[in-house]
Protein backbone atom coordinates (compact mmCIF):
# COMPACT_ATOMS: atom_id res chain seq x y z
CA UNK A 1 0.00 0.00 0.00
CA UNK A 2 1.16 3.55 -0.61
CA UNK A 3 1.30 6.23 2.06
CA UNK A 4 -2.01 7.90 1.21
CA UNK A 5 -3.87 4.59 1.34
CA UNK A 6 -2.39 3.73 4.73
CA UNK A 7 -3.23 7.17 6.14
CA UNK A 8 -6.81 6.68 4.97
CA UNK A 9 -7.04 3.26 6.63
CA UNK A 10 -5.64 4.59 9.92
CA UNK A 11 -7.94 7.61 9.96
CA UNK A 12 -10.98 5.42 9.31
CA UNK A 13 -9.81 3.06 12.07
CA UNK A 14 -9.50 5.86 14.64
CA UNK A 15 -12.86 7.41 13.81
CA UNK A 16 -14.72 4.09 13.98
CA UNK A 17 -15.65 3.89 17.66
CA UNK A 18 -17.20 0.43 17.40
CA UNK A 19 -14.09 -1.56 16.50
CA UNK A 20 -11.98 -3.31 19.12
CA UNK A 21 -8.85 -4.48 17.38
CA UNK A 22 -5.36 -3.23 16.52
CA UNK A 23 -3.88 -2.36 13.15
CA UNK A 24 -0.51 -3.59 11.91
CA UNK A 25 1.93 -1.74 9.66
CA UNK A 26 4.51 -4.17 8.33
CA UNK A 27 7.39 -3.81 5.90
CA UNK A 28 11.04 -4.61 5.31
CA UNK A 29 13.68 -3.30 7.69
CA UNK A 30 14.87 0.13 6.66
CA UNK A 31 12.00 0.85 4.27
CA UNK A 32 10.98 3.94 6.26
CA UNK A 33 8.07 2.74 8.40
CA UNK A 34 9.13 4.69 11.50
CA UNK A 35 9.90 7.81 9.49
CA UNK A 36 6.51 7.57 7.82
CA UNK A 37 4.74 7.24 11.17
CA UNK A 38 6.64 10.09 12.84
CA UNK A 39 6.25 12.48 9.91
CA UNK A 40 3.65 11.89 7.19
CA UNK A 41 1.13 9.95 9.31
CA UNK A 42 1.49 12.18 12.38
CA UNK A 43 1.27 15.38 10.34
CA UNK A 44 -1.89 14.25 8.53
CA UNK A 45 -3.64 13.03 11.67
CA UNK A 46 -2.79 16.11 13.74
CA UNK A 47 -3.26 18.86 11.15
CA UNK A 48 -7.04 19.15 10.72
CA UNK A 49 -9.97 19.96 13.01
CA UNK A 50 -10.61 16.33 13.90
CA UNK A 51 -7.16 16.21 15.47
CA UNK A 52 -5.83 12.81 16.49
CA UNK A 53 -2.60 12.99 18.54
CA UNK A 54 -0.04 10.30 17.74
CA UNK A 55 2.15 8.83 20.49
CA UNK A 56 5.05 6.64 19.33
CA UNK A 57 6.78 4.16 21.64
CA UNK A 58 9.46 1.60 20.81
CA UNK A 59 9.13 -1.93 22.15
CA UNK A 60 12.79 -2.61 21.32
CA UNK A 61 14.27 -4.75 24.12
CA UNK A 62 11.25 -4.52 26.44
CA UNK A 63 11.43 -7.63 28.62
CA UNK A 64 8.09 -7.37 30.39
CA UNK A 65 4.87 -5.41 30.61
CA UNK A 66 6.29 -2.82 32.98
CA UNK A 67 9.10 -1.94 30.56
CA UNK A 68 6.71 -1.75 27.61
CA UNK A 69 4.35 0.54 29.50
CA UNK A 70 7.31 2.60 30.65
CA UNK A 71 8.31 3.09 27.02
CA UNK A 72 4.77 4.23 26.19
CA UNK A 73 4.73 6.71 29.07
CA UNK A 74 8.15 8.05 28.05
CA UNK A 75 6.98 8.44 24.47
CA UNK A 76 3.97 10.44 25.59
CA UNK A 77 5.92 12.70 27.96
CA UNK A 78 8.66 13.27 25.36
CA UNK A 79 6.12 14.19 22.69
CA UNK A 80 4.44 16.72 24.95
CA UNK A 81 7.70 18.32 26.04
CA UNK A 82 9.17 18.54 22.55
CA UNK A 83 5.91 19.89 21.16
CA UNK A 84 5.80 22.71 23.71
CA UNK A 85 9.50 23.51 23.44
CA UNK A 86 9.24 23.72 19.63
CA UNK A 87 6.91 26.69 20.04
CA UNK A 88 9.68 28.66 21.70
CA UNK A 89 7.48 29.56 24.68
CA UNK A 90 9.35 27.65 27.36
CA UNK A 91 12.12 25.15 27.89
CA UNK A 92 11.90 21.37 27.97
CA UNK A 93 11.97 21.18 31.78
CA UNK A 94 9.20 23.78 32.11
CA UNK A 95 7.17 21.85 29.55
CA UNK A 96 7.54 18.63 31.52
CA UNK A 97 6.48 20.39 34.71
CA UNK A 98 3.49 21.88 32.93
CA UNK A 99 2.56 18.48 31.55
CA UNK A 100 2.73 16.93 35.00
CA UNK A 101 0.50 19.64 36.45
CA UNK A 102 -2.00 19.44 33.57
CA UNK A 103 -2.43 15.70 33.98
CA UNK A 104 -2.08 15.48 37.75
CA UNK A 105 0.65 12.88 37.44
CA UNK A 106 2.95 14.88 39.70
CA UNK A 107 0.51 14.33 42.55
CA UNK A 108 -0.47 10.78 41.67
CA UNK A 109 2.08 9.06 43.89
CA UNK A 110 1.26 11.32 46.84
CA UNK A 111 -2.51 10.74 46.50
CA UNK A 112 -2.09 6.98 46.32
CA UNK A 113 0.08 7.01 49.44
CA UNK A 114 -2.54 9.08 51.28
CA UNK A 115 -5.29 6.64 50.27
CA UNK A 116 -3.16 3.68 51.33
CA UNK A 117 -2.61 5.29 54.75
CA UNK A 118 -6.28 6.13 55.31
CA UNK A 119 -7.72 2.87 54.02
CA UNK A 120 -5.00 0.64 55.34
CA UNK A 121 -4.71 -1.12 51.96
CA UNK A 122 -1.96 -1.47 49.36
CA UNK A 123 -2.99 0.37 46.19
CA UNK A 124 -0.74 -0.46 43.24
CA UNK A 125 -1.47 1.09 39.85
CA UNK A 126 -0.95 -1.61 37.23
CA UNK A 127 1.26 -0.50 34.30
CA UNK A 128 -1.58 -0.81 31.78
CA UNK A 129 -3.81 1.36 33.95
CA UNK A 130 -1.19 4.10 33.84
CA UNK A 131 -1.15 3.86 30.05
CA UNK A 132 -4.95 3.95 30.02
CA UNK A 133 -4.80 7.13 32.08
CA UNK A 134 -2.53 9.12 29.75
CA UNK A 135 -3.61 7.83 26.32
CA UNK A 136 -6.83 9.61 25.38
CA UNK A 137 -9.73 8.21 23.32
CA UNK A 138 -8.74 10.24 20.22
CA UNK A 139 -5.06 9.33 20.44
CA UNK A 140 -3.33 6.79 18.21
CA UNK A 141 -0.82 4.74 20.18
CA UNK A 142 1.95 3.44 17.91
CA UNK A 143 4.08 0.58 19.24
CA UNK A 144 7.16 0.36 17.01
CA UNK A 145 9.89 -2.31 16.70
CA UNK A 146 7.48 -5.03 17.81
CA UNK A 147 9.62 -7.81 16.33
CA UNK A 148 12.54 -6.63 18.49
CA UNK A 149 10.56 -6.90 21.72
CA UNK A 150 11.85 -9.52 24.20
CA UNK A 151 8.41 -10.26 25.66
CA UNK A 152 6.61 -13.48 24.86
CA UNK A 153 3.96 -13.11 22.18
CA UNK A 154 1.19 -14.14 24.57
CA UNK A 155 2.12 -11.42 27.07
CA UNK A 156 2.72 -8.81 24.38
CA UNK A 157 -0.42 -9.43 22.34
CA UNK A 158 -2.40 -9.93 25.53
CA UNK A 159 -1.43 -6.41 26.60
CA UNK A 160 -2.41 -5.03 23.20
CA UNK A 161 -5.72 -6.88 23.37
CA UNK A 162 -6.39 -5.38 26.80
CA UNK A 163 -5.73 -1.88 25.45
CA UNK A 164 -8.00 -2.20 22.41
CA UNK A 165 -10.78 -4.28 24.00
CA UNK A 166 -10.73 -3.40 27.68
CA UNK A 167 -9.59 0.23 27.41
CA UNK A 168 -10.98 1.02 23.90
CA UNK A 169 -7.65 2.45 22.77
CA UNK A 170 -6.48 2.77 19.18
CA UNK A 171 -3.23 0.88 18.67
CA UNK A 172 -1.00 0.56 15.60
CA UNK A 173 1.70 -2.14 15.72
CA UNK A 174 4.70 -1.36 13.50
CA UNK A 175 6.99 -4.26 12.67
CA UNK A 176 8.66 -6.45 10.10
CA UNK A 177 6.22 -9.32 10.42
CA UNK A 178 8.34 -11.66 8.29
CA UNK A 179 11.25 -11.27 10.71
CA UNK A 180 8.92 -11.56 13.69
CA UNK A 181 7.73 -14.93 12.44
CA UNK A 182 11.30 -16.12 11.97
CA UNK A 183 11.88 -15.73 15.69
CA UNK A 184 9.13 -18.23 16.41
CA UNK A 185 9.18 -21.99 16.02
CA UNK A 186 7.84 -25.27 17.39
CA UNK A 187 9.55 -24.54 20.71
CA UNK A 188 10.38 -20.86 20.44
CA UNK A 189 11.23 -18.97 23.63
CA UNK A 190 8.83 -16.16 22.76
CA UNK A 191 6.11 -18.49 21.57
CA UNK A 192 5.21 -20.82 18.73
CA UNK A 193 4.01 -20.07 15.25
CA UNK A 194 0.69 -21.65 16.09
CA UNK A 195 0.26 -19.41 19.14
CA UNK A 196 1.13 -16.40 17.02
CA UNK A 197 -1.48 -17.21 14.40
CA UNK A 198 -4.13 -17.71 17.07
CA UNK A 199 -3.34 -14.54 18.99
CA UNK A 200 -2.78 -12.28 16.00
CA UNK A 201 -6.12 -13.38 14.50
CA UNK A 202 -7.92 -12.15 17.62
CA UNK A 203 -5.92 -8.97 18.20
CA UNK A 204 -5.08 -7.60 14.74
CA UNK A 205 -7.79 -7.26 12.16
CA UNK A 206 -6.01 -5.51 9.31
CA UNK A 207 -2.40 -5.57 8.15
CA UNK A 208 -1.05 -2.79 5.95
CA UNK A 209 2.14 -3.63 4.06
CA UNK A 210 4.28 -0.53 3.67
CA UNK A 211 5.70 -0.30 0.15
CA UNK A 212 6.89 3.26 -0.42
CA UNK A 213 7.85 4.33 -3.91
CA UNK A 214 11.55 4.75 -4.59
CA UNK A 215 10.93 8.38 -5.45
CA UNK A 216 9.21 9.20 -2.18
CA UNK A 217 11.97 7.59 -0.09
CA UNK A 218 14.82 9.28 -1.97
CA UNK A 219 13.08 12.66 -1.86
CA UNK A 220 12.29 12.31 1.83
CA UNK A 221 15.84 11.41 2.84
CA UNK A 222 18.04 13.17 0.29
CA UNK A 223 15.79 15.66 -1.47
CA UNK A 224 17.42 18.67 0.18
CA UNK A 225 20.99 17.93 -0.86
CA UNK A 226 20.01 16.54 -4.29
CA UNK A 227 18.17 19.74 -5.10
CA UNK A 228 21.41 21.67 -4.70
CA UNK A 229 23.49 19.51 -7.06
CA UNK A 230 21.65 20.35 -10.29
CA UNK A 231 18.03 20.56 -11.49
CA UNK A 232 16.83 17.04 -12.14
CA UNK A 233 19.30 15.35 -9.77
CA UNK A 234 16.43 13.91 -7.73
CA UNK A 235 14.87 12.27 -10.79
CA UNK A 236 18.25 10.95 -11.92
CA UNK A 237 18.96 9.54 -8.45
CA UNK A 238 15.62 7.72 -8.46
CA UNK A 239 16.21 6.25 -11.92
CA UNK A 240 19.70 5.11 -10.84
CA UNK A 241 18.32 2.74 -8.19
CA UNK A 242 14.75 2.14 -9.37
CA UNK A 243 15.47 -1.31 -10.73
CA UNK A 244 17.34 -2.49 -7.62
CA UNK A 245 15.97 -3.84 -4.35
CA UNK A 246 13.60 -1.84 -2.17
CA UNK A 247 15.32 1.38 -1.05
CA UNK A 248 16.66 1.30 2.48
CA UNK A 249 16.05 4.57 4.29
CA UNK A 250 18.91 4.08 6.73
CA UNK A 251 21.44 3.28 4.03
CA UNK A 252 20.32 6.24 1.92
CA UNK A 253 20.89 8.49 4.93
CA UNK A 254 24.52 7.33 5.04
CA UNK A 255 25.03 8.73 1.53
CA UNK A 256 24.51 12.35 2.54
CA UNK A 257 28.23 13.22 3.12
CA UNK A 258 29.14 11.77 -0.28
CA UNK A 259 26.41 13.75 -2.03
CA UNK A 260 27.42 16.92 -0.20
CA UNK A 261 30.96 16.34 -1.46
CA UNK A 262 29.68 15.93 -5.03
CA UNK A 263 27.70 19.14 -4.69
CA UNK A 264 30.61 21.13 -3.24
CA UNK A 265 32.99 19.82 -5.91
CA UNK A 266 31.33 22.14 -8.43
CA UNK A 267 31.59 19.45 -11.10
CA UNK A 268 27.87 19.60 -11.85
CA UNK A 269 27.45 23.38 -11.54
CA UNK A 270 28.00 24.44 -15.17
CA UNK A 271 29.19 21.41 -17.15
CA UNK A 272 30.08 21.86 -20.81
CA UNK A 273 28.29 18.59 -21.50
CA UNK A 274 25.26 18.33 -19.16
CA UNK A 275 24.11 15.02 -20.62
CA UNK A 276 27.40 13.28 -19.88
CA UNK A 277 27.60 14.91 -16.45
CA UNK A 278 24.15 13.51 -15.63
CA UNK A 279 25.24 10.06 -16.78
CA UNK A 280 28.25 10.28 -14.46
CA UNK A 281 26.03 11.34 -11.55
CA UNK A 282 23.58 8.48 -12.06
CA UNK A 283 26.36 5.90 -12.11
CA UNK A 284 28.10 7.43 -9.09
CA UNK A 285 24.81 7.54 -7.16
CA UNK A 286 24.16 3.89 -7.97
CA UNK A 287 27.61 2.84 -6.75
CA UNK A 288 27.24 4.94 -3.58
CA UNK A 289 23.81 3.44 -2.85
CA UNK A 290 25.24 -0.06 -3.10
CA UNK A 291 28.23 0.80 -0.92
CA UNK A 292 25.93 2.34 1.70
CA UNK A 293 24.07 -0.98 1.96
CA UNK A 294 27.36 -2.81 2.49
CA UNK A 295 27.49 -4.29 -1.01
CA UNK A 296 30.95 -4.85 -2.44
CA UNK A 297 31.93 -5.56 -6.02
CA UNK A 298 33.39 -9.04 -5.78
CA UNK A 299 34.53 -11.41 -8.54
CA UNK A 300 32.09 -13.93 -10.07
CA UNK A 301 31.35 -16.77 -7.64
CA UNK A 302 31.64 -19.68 -10.08
CA UNK A 303 33.45 -20.68 -13.26
CA UNK A 304 30.23 -20.35 -15.25
CA UNK A 305 29.61 -16.87 -13.89
CA UNK A 306 33.22 -16.02 -14.61
CA UNK A 307 32.68 -16.82 -18.27
CA UNK A 308 29.27 -15.14 -18.56
CA UNK A 309 29.77 -12.17 -16.28
CA UNK A 310 33.51 -11.70 -16.12
CA UNK A 311 33.48 -8.76 -18.51
CA UNK A 312 30.66 -7.04 -16.65
CA UNK A 313 32.42 -7.51 -13.32
CA UNK A 314 35.68 -6.08 -14.63
CA UNK A 315 33.91 -3.06 -16.10
CA UNK A 316 32.07 -2.36 -12.83
CA UNK A 317 35.25 -2.90 -10.82
CA UNK A 318 37.14 -0.35 -12.90
CA UNK A 319 34.33 2.18 -12.68
CA UNK A 320 33.98 1.76 -8.92
CA UNK A 321 37.73 2.11 -8.42
CA UNK A 322 37.73 5.29 -10.51
CA UNK A 323 35.17 6.84 -8.14
CA UNK A 324 37.67 6.50 -5.30
CA UNK A 325 35.85 8.92 -3.00
CA UNK A 326 33.07 6.31 -2.57
CA UNK A 327 35.15 3.36 -1.26
CA UNK A 328 37.32 5.88 0.56
CA UNK A 329 34.28 6.94 2.62
CA UNK A 330 32.35 3.68 2.99
CA UNK A 331 35.19 1.13 3.16
CA UNK A 332 38.20 3.03 4.47
CA UNK A 333 36.21 5.33 6.80
CA UNK A 334 37.95 8.46 5.51
CA UNK A 335 36.38 11.87 5.01
CA UNK A 336 34.95 13.31 1.81
CA UNK A 337 37.16 15.98 0.24
CA UNK A 338 35.43 18.02 -2.48
CA UNK A 339 38.67 18.53 -4.45
CA UNK A 340 39.30 14.79 -4.47
CA UNK A 341 35.69 14.22 -5.53
CA UNK A 342 36.05 16.62 -8.46
CA UNK A 343 39.28 14.99 -9.59
CA UNK A 344 37.65 11.54 -9.54
CA UNK A 345 34.57 12.75 -11.42
CA UNK A 346 36.65 14.47 -14.11
CA UNK A 347 38.77 11.36 -14.65
CA UNK A 348 35.65 9.19 -14.71
CA UNK A 349 34.04 11.42 -17.31
CA UNK A 350 37.11 11.35 -19.56
CA UNK A 351 37.53 7.57 -19.22
CA UNK A 352 34.01 6.19 -19.37
CA UNK A 353 32.07 8.96 -21.13
CA UNK A 354 34.60 10.29 -23.62
CA UNK A 355 32.06 11.46 -26.21
CA UNK A 356 30.52 14.93 -26.01
CA UNK A 357 27.15 15.96 -27.53
CA UNK A 358 28.51 16.50 -31.05
CA UNK A 359 30.42 13.22 -30.87
CA UNK A 360 27.28 11.34 -29.83
CA UNK A 361 25.39 12.75 -32.82
CA UNK A 362 28.25 11.65 -35.05
CA UNK A 363 28.11 8.13 -33.61
CA UNK A 364 24.36 8.01 -34.29
CA UNK A 365 25.11 9.09 -37.85
CA UNK A 366 27.69 6.30 -38.25
CA UNK A 367 25.22 3.72 -36.92
CA UNK A 368 22.59 5.02 -39.34
CA UNK A 369 25.00 4.53 -42.25
CA UNK A 370 25.97 1.04 -41.10
CA UNK A 371 22.36 -0.12 -40.84
CA UNK A 372 21.05 1.92 -43.78
CA UNK A 373 18.43 3.60 -41.62
CA UNK A 374 18.96 7.09 -43.04
CA UNK A 375 16.91 8.92 -45.67
CA UNK A 376 18.38 10.23 -48.90
CA UNK A 377 17.58 13.76 -47.74
CA UNK A 378 19.75 13.20 -44.67
CA UNK A 379 22.93 12.52 -46.61
CA UNK A 380 23.77 16.17 -47.27
CA UNK A 381 24.06 16.90 -43.57
CA UNK A 382 26.02 13.76 -42.70
CA UNK A 383 29.46 15.14 -43.52
CA UNK A 384 28.78 18.26 -41.44
CA UNK A 385 27.62 16.11 -38.51
CA UNK A 386 30.68 13.88 -38.73
CA UNK A 387 33.12 16.81 -39.03
CA UNK A 388 31.44 18.50 -36.05
CA UNK A 389 31.78 15.26 -34.10
CA UNK A 390 35.51 15.11 -34.79
CA UNK A 391 36.22 18.77 -33.96
CA UNK A 392 33.24 20.09 -31.93
CA UNK A 393 32.75 23.82 -32.19
CA UNK A 394 31.50 24.08 -28.60
CA UNK A 395 34.77 22.88 -27.11
CA UNK A 396 33.31 19.59 -25.87
CA UNK A 397 35.04 16.24 -26.31
CA UNK A 398 35.07 14.96 -29.88
CA UNK A 399 34.98 11.43 -31.23
CA UNK A 400 37.48 9.02 -29.75
CA UNK A 401 40.52 8.44 -31.95
CA UNK A 402 39.67 4.74 -31.81
CA UNK A 403 36.60 5.22 -34.04
CA UNK A 404 38.29 7.29 -36.77
CA UNK A 405 38.80 4.24 -39.03
CA UNK A 406 35.11 3.32 -38.56
CA UNK A 407 34.05 6.82 -39.60
CA UNK A 408 36.01 6.69 -42.84
CA UNK A 409 34.90 3.14 -43.59
CA UNK A 410 31.24 4.08 -43.15
CA UNK A 411 31.48 7.18 -45.34
CA UNK A 412 33.41 5.39 -48.09
CA UNK A 413 30.63 2.83 -48.20
CA UNK A 414 28.06 5.36 -49.41
CA UNK A 415 30.28 7.99 -51.08
CA UNK A 416 29.99 6.35 -54.49
CA UNK A 417 26.19 6.09 -54.42
CA UNK A 418 25.74 9.65 -53.17
CA UNK A 419 28.58 11.35 -55.03
CA UNK A 420 26.73 14.68 -55.16
CA UNK A 421 26.70 14.83 -51.38
CA UNK A 422 30.42 14.05 -51.19
CA UNK A 423 32.05 16.19 -53.90
CA UNK A 424 35.36 16.12 -52.02
CA UNK A 425 35.06 12.51 -50.93
CA UNK A 426 36.49 11.94 -47.45
CA UNK A 427 38.88 14.91 -47.62
CA UNK A 428 36.86 17.11 -45.16
CA UNK A 429 36.84 14.27 -42.65
CA UNK A 430 40.56 13.63 -42.97
CA UNK A 431 41.29 17.34 -42.55
CA UNK A 432 39.19 17.45 -39.36
CA UNK A 433 40.98 14.34 -38.05
CA UNK A 434 44.38 15.91 -38.68
CA UNK A 435 43.29 19.00 -36.75
CA UNK A 436 42.06 16.91 -33.83
CA UNK A 437 45.23 14.81 -33.72
CA UNK A 438 47.32 17.98 -33.65
CA UNK A 439 45.54 18.98 -30.43
CA UNK A 440 46.28 15.73 -28.61
CA UNK A 441 49.03 13.78 -30.40
CA UNK A 442 49.84 11.56 -27.40
CA UNK A 443 46.33 10.08 -27.25
CA UNK A 444 46.35 9.61 -31.02
CA UNK A 445 49.64 7.70 -30.84
CA UNK A 446 48.21 5.40 -28.15
CA UNK A 447 45.17 4.70 -30.33
CA UNK A 448 47.32 3.98 -33.38
CA UNK A 449 49.41 1.59 -31.33
CA UNK A 450 46.28 -0.43 -30.48
CA UNK A 451 45.14 -0.76 -34.13
CA UNK A 452 47.87 0.02 -36.64
CA UNK A 453 46.23 -1.88 -39.52
CA UNK A 454 42.98 0.10 -39.56
CA UNK A 455 44.78 3.42 -39.13
CA UNK A 456 46.74 2.70 -42.31
CA UNK A 457 43.49 3.10 -44.25
CA UNK A 458 43.27 6.81 -43.39
CA UNK A 459 44.77 8.83 -46.30
CA UNK A 460 46.61 11.49 -44.31
CA UNK A 461 48.67 14.07 -46.13
CA UNK A 462 52.20 12.60 -46.27
CA UNK A 463 53.65 16.00 -45.48
pLDDT on residue 57: 94
Which ranges of the chain have pLDDT less than 50? 84-85, 89-90, 92, 96, 99-109, 111-112, 115-116, 121-125, 304, 306-308, 310, 462-463
- Residue 151 CA to residue 146 CA, distance in Å, equals 9
Q: Is the pTM of this model over 0.85?
A: no
Q: Tell me, what DSSP letter sits at residue 244?
A: S
Local structure of 456: helix, strand or coil: coil
pLDDT on residue 250: 86
The answer to whether residues 10 and 172 touch, using CB atoms and an 8 Å cutoff, is yes
Element (H, E) at 233: helix 233-241
pLDDT on residue 363: 86
pLDDT on residue 124: 47
- Residue 436 CA to residue 398 CA, distance in Å, equals 8
pLDDT on residue 81: 62
CA–CA distance from 49 to each of 7, 44, 45 (Å)?
16, 11, 9
Q: What is the CATH T-level fold of the domain 3-209, as seen in this structure?
A: Rossmann fold (3.40.50)
pLDDT on residue 114: 55
- DSSP character string of 410-421: HHHHHHTTTGGG
Q: List, in order, residues 6 or more apart from 181 with CB less than 8 Å away.
A: 193, 196
Domain borders along the chain are 3-209, 214-352, 357-455
Among candidate residues 121, 114, 131, the one with its CA nearest the CA of residue 166: 131
Q: What is the per-residue pLDDT across 333-386, written as a single tens digit (0 to 9) for each?
A: 999 999 999 999 999 998 888 888 888 888 888 888 887 788 877 877 887 888
Amino acid sequence: MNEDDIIGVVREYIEDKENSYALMLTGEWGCGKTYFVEHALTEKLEEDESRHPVVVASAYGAKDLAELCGAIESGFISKYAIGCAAGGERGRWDSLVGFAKDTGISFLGKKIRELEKKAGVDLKMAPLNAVNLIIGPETLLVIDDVERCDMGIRELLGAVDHLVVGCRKKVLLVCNEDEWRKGLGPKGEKGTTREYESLIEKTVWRKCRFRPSVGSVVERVLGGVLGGIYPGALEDAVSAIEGSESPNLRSLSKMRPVLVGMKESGFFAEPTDPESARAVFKEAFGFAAGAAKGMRIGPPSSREDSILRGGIFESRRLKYAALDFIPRFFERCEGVDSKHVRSCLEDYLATFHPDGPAARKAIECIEGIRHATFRDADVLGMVETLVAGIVPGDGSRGLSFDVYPDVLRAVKGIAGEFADAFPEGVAPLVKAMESSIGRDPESAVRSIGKNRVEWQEIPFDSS
